[in-house]
């Protein structure tokens, strides 16, 4: 029995390597966070965590990912893949689920450093976790949401085949802001023109899906 099988999991795309978070990688992630993720006048996140002052942003970021790692169970999990470009962490791509063995649904969320945006990396890293979820975990549906003014996120969703699935309003920086829910069925996934390379998945299947691999 491996006490933490996720440490072996690796997803590779033409440019990127995605691995579940580890302590050394989180320190690199904090460095990227402090360099800036978005225009300070904007807020793309439902939780306004980037509004924290720089002196507390780093420790808060690390504690958040520690807490997610510690709380992971088959019934409720969030795998936060650190995204590396040329060997350096540039952001994070999360894949989460509740009652996955029954529902077969996953959710996604992500960010990359501002200096790396606009080069298609956001699409590539989300395509990676979608291919992993559909092809290796057996997911049936992927869900996401984004504020209506987050045009970059909506652009990624359109390119990958998501469809609108309702709206809601939440308070953002003290004022109402609209969000759109998005859903992607496995058969609607617009696959990239490259194949995802995955290693270390077999030992993770029991933890993430509740199903042990076939002999």
Express each pLDDT in 98-123 by its tens digit: 999 999 999 999 999 999 999 999 99
Q: Is the pLDDT of residue 13 over 90?
A: yes
Can you list the pairs that 71-74 forms with residues at least 24 positions away whose Cβ atoms lie under 8 Å? 72/207, 74/100, 74/101, 74/206, 74/207, 74/208, 74/209, 74/210
215 found inside a domain:
no
As a whole number, mean pLDDT of residues 147-172 equals 96
* Cα distance between residue 93 and residue 14, in whole Å: 16
Which of 142, 188, 143, 186 minimizes the C-alpha distance to 168? 143
| pLDDT reported for residue 214 | 57
Looking up residue 85, the CATH number of its domain turns out to be: 3.40.630.30
The 10s digit of each residue's pLDDT in 69-87 is: 999 999 999 999 999 999 9
214 found inside a domain:
no
The 10s digit of each residue's pLDDT in 44-71 is: 999 999 999 999 999 999 999 999 999 9
| Domain span including residue 160 | 5-209
157 found inside a domain:
yes
The total number of structural domains that make up the chain: 1
């Amino acid at each position: 029995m491996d006490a933490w099988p996720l440490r072996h999991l690796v997803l590779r795309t033409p440019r990127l390597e995605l691995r579940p978070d580890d302590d050394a990688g989180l320190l690199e992630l904090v460095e990227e966070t402090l360099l800036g993720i978005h225009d300070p006048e904007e807020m793309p996140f439902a939780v306004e965590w980037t509004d924290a002052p720089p002196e507390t942003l780093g420790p808060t970021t690390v504690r958040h990912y520690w807490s997610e790692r510690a709380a992971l169970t088959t019934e409720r999990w969030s795998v936060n893949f650190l995204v590396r470009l040329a060997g350096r962490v540039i952001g994070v791509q999360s894949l989460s689920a509740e009652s996955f063995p029954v529902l077969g649904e996953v959710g996604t969320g992500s960010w990359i450093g501002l200096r790396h945006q606009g080069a298609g990396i956001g699409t590539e890293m989300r395509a990676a976790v979608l291919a992993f979820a559909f092809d290796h975990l057996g997911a049936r549906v992927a869900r996401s949401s984004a504020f209506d003014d987050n045009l970059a996120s909506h652009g990624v969703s359109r390119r990958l085949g998501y469809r609108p699935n309702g709206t809601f309003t939440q308070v953002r920086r003290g004022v109402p802001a609209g969000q759109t829910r998005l859903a992607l069925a496995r058969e609607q996934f617009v696959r990239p023109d490259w194949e995802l390379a995955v290693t270390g998945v077999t030992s993770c299947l029991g933890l993430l899906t509740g199903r042990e691999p076939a002999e």
